[in-house]
C-alpha cells in the first residue's frame, strides 16, 4: 500500500510538478492551522488560523481546477469565500 502511495505521488509529480509541490504545501498549511487550533482553544489566534485556512483552501481550489474537478473546486471556492468573510470581519 505504501509503495502505491509513493508511486501515485511520483506520477502526480511527473504530470504536474508545480501542482504537486503546491498541494503538499497546502496540505502542510492546513495541518498546521488545525494543530494550532487544537493547541490554542479556547483562545485561538483567528487571524493566523484563518489566514492559513484561506491560503490552503485557495491552493487546493487552484489544484482542483487544474485537475478539472468541479465538485472539489466548488467546495474549496466556498471555503475560501466563507473564511475570507470571517477574516475580514475579524480585521474590521
pLDDT at 4 over 90: no
What is the reported pLDDT for 3? 78
Q: For residue 37, give the nearest of 91, 83, 85, 88 by alpha carbon.
A: 83
Distance of CA 1 to the CA centre of its chain: 25
What is the reported pLDDT for 2? 73
pLDDT in tens, 33-55: 999 999 999 999 999 999 999 99
Structural domain spans, the chain:
2-91
**Residue 34: all three cell numbers together:** 488545525
pLDDT in tens, 49-87: 999 999 999 999 999 999 999 999 999 999 999 999 999
Compute the Cα dihedral for 79, 49, 32, 62 and give only its sign: positive
- What is the chain's alpha carbon radius of gyration, rounded to the nearest angstrom? 15
On the 0-12 / 13-18 / 19+ scale of CB atoms within 10 A, 61 is buried
Amino acid at each position: 500500500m505504501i509503495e502505491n502511495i509513493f508511486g501515485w505521488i511520483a506520477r502526480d509529480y511527473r504530470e504536474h510538478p508545480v501542482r504537486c509541490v503546491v498541494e503538499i504545501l497546502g496540505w502542510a498549511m492546513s495541518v498546521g492551522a488545525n494543530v494550532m487550533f487544537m493547541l490554542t482553544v479556547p483562545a485561538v489566534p483567528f487571524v493566523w488560523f484563518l489566514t492559513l485556512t484561506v491560503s490552503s483552501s485557495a491552493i487546493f481550489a487552484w489544484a482542483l481546477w487544474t485537475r478539472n474537478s468541479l465538485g472539489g473546486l466548488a467546495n474549496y471556492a466556498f471555503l475560501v469565500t466563507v473564511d475570507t468573510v470571517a477574516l475580514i470581519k475579524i480585521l474590521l
